[in-house]
Chain A
Amino acid sequence: MNKSLGRQLKKYRIFYLMFLPVAVYFIIFTYYPFLRGLIMSFQENRLLGNRPFAGLANYRFVLKDSNFLAAVANSLIIGLWDMVLYFFFSLGFALILNELVHRTVKQTIQTIAYIPYLFSWAVIGGVWVLIFDLQGLVNQFLSIFGTEPIFFLATPDYARPLIIAMGVWRSMGYFALLFTVAIMNIEGQLYEAARIDGASRFMQIRKIILPSLIPTMKTIIVLLSIGVLTHFDEIYVMVNPANRRLISTLLLFVYETGILNFQTGTASAGATLVMAGTLLITGLMRKFIGYDKE
């Protein structure tokens, strides 16, 4: 057996050789940084030289740090709202879009909704700056009802809703596309059978389309739950002194503490807690929706 394995390995040598660059890449740039971060979270804040181990000191520090705790709250609020709204808006949009009969119109609307997902968060930030400006689109619209112009981007009350809406605006079209692809794959005979049974279109949506979408819904929920605590780019783009307290998330804390202020131990401890939190949220969601059952 061993001899034959040896022969096998020799025969397939070329494949292992071809795999080498990929393996080396993942070890150096994915596995090792992960471990490195984990180790640093138990070491003193030092980027150069040797780093004495500090036990759980970083974790204790982070868990008492008011900035970190505020970031936990912000991340949960922004992340969970985004998750729920991404899901229902994209599902709703895919469903109403599917009722359109005209194919070209349908595809055009789908494209318009998808385009923002192609853009960097900095571009979306630019759109937001323009439309929520004092003289921008939104204030122009509100002025029809006699509302005084509001400086949305500098008013704390609007900080979180604006960030959440930004995400929905960018991502709805993408997730809707996932639903649309799944709707297109539903067997035509199912509708046929329902029609013979005299089911109205509304009933068909409820009894055929929605149940057929359950696997897609589950996949999307798992995808979204991985992202709950990882909001970063949009925060980095939009954060300013007026909204910082309300929207600075965990990853912004990690970035500012570790990369900008070189407190690598503190930042790594924070990042490790975020990983644990993500694992917990994803695990709970998977269990809740029965993702691993089939």
Chain B
Amino acid sequence: MKSRLSKKDNLPLGLSALNILLLVLVVVLMGLPMLNVLAVSLSTQAKSDAPGLVLLPTPPTFEGYTFIWKHTNLPRPFFNTVYVSVVGTVLHVLMASLAGYILCQNKLPFRKAMTTFILLTMTVPYELTMIGIYAVNRDLGLTNTYAGLIINGMVSGFSVFLMRNYFQAIPLSLAESARIDGSGEWRIFSSIYLRLSVSGLMTIGTLELIRRWNNITMTITLISDMKKWTLPVVLRFILFDQTSTSGTSYIFANAKMAAVVMTALPLVVLYFFTQSFFSSGIMIGSVKE
């Protein structure tokens, strides 16, 4: 992040103008659809289904939100998602940092083998093993349970290595002197390593929370009981498969878009609170292993 841009040369005027034009185009193509969704979600039923582009709802109304919240029983999937995502993320962060801590003990016998053991889990995307995952979870009685959604994905190689990289930046002497003072490993782990890696924990926590909130594949693999579905899966039904959402005859565009916003907005809020951690996480995460 060091290059201060003030001393930078500029492109010739023509190219510079083209450059700005392209950027405006990007902003329009990315921003306009999002604005459109937000505006329609805040419009009245009649207005949202009438022809004409809505970019500013006049006057804004929450009737789409109240409709979808009540008539499709949205609270249920909403709180399912909150529950599964939050509990799953807390466990994920704990497990990943635990494993990361162990992998940075450089005198530990078999550390290489343990590292490879975790590295190998990253070679096959889990989507490709969904039939096996389904069969194993069914045998363990985890299909159609929240526990199944929480346990699967409880730790990942990506998060383990990210935490290991954070921990490796902590001087070993700190742990050594604590050991001499008679601290146990749990204490060293929790009161030195975890405390000094808050931004690392925030990074994997945020990434995992987003991943879980958005997950479709795992939910539809493990859960066939609609009552236990999460928001994205229910949202898809609201958008495309109206007949199966609790008998409501027709869902107007404003209510559909309200459901879209309710699924998306928590993540935007989360993003703005944790933004500073993102680039560091991305940088460390993209380092070649």
Contact = CB atoms under 8 A, between A and B. Distances in A.
Given A29-B136, A99-B16, A120-B214, A230 B102 contact: no
A19 interface: yes
B19 A33 contact: no
B131 A32 contact: no
Contacts of A109: 23, 26-27
Nearest to A95: B19
Interface string B33-50: 110110010000000001
Interface string A253-277: 0110011000010011001001100
A69 interface: no
A32 B105 contact: no
A288 interface: no
B257 A126 contact: yes
Nearest to A27: B117
A120 B213 contact: yes
B34 to A, nearest CB: 7
Interface residues of A, number: 92
Contacts of B213: 120
Interface in B124-177: 124-136, 138, 140, 151-152, 154-155, 160
Interface residues of B, number: 100
Nearest to B288: A219
A93 B121 CA distance: 33
8 contacts: A19-B102, A22-B98, A31-B121, A119-B214, A195-B9, A216-B286, A219-B288, A232-B127
Interface of A: 5, 8-9, 12, 14-15, 18-19, 21-23, 25-26, 28-38, 40, 47, 93, 96-97, 99-101, 103, 109, 111-113, 115-116, 118-123, 125-127, 129-131, 133, 135, 137, 140, 169, 173, 177-178, 181, 184, 186, 188, 191, 195, 200-202, 204, 215-216, 219, 226-227, 230, 232-233, 236-237, 240, 251, 254-255, 258-259, 264, 267-268, 271, 274-275, 278
Given A22-B95, A96-B22, A126-B239, 18 more contacts: A25-B155, A31-B121, A33-B133, A33-B136, A34-B129, A100-B20, A118-B268, A119-B267, A120-B235, A122-B233, A122-B239, A123-B214, A123-B264, A177-B282, A232-B216, A254-B131, A259-B134, A271-B129
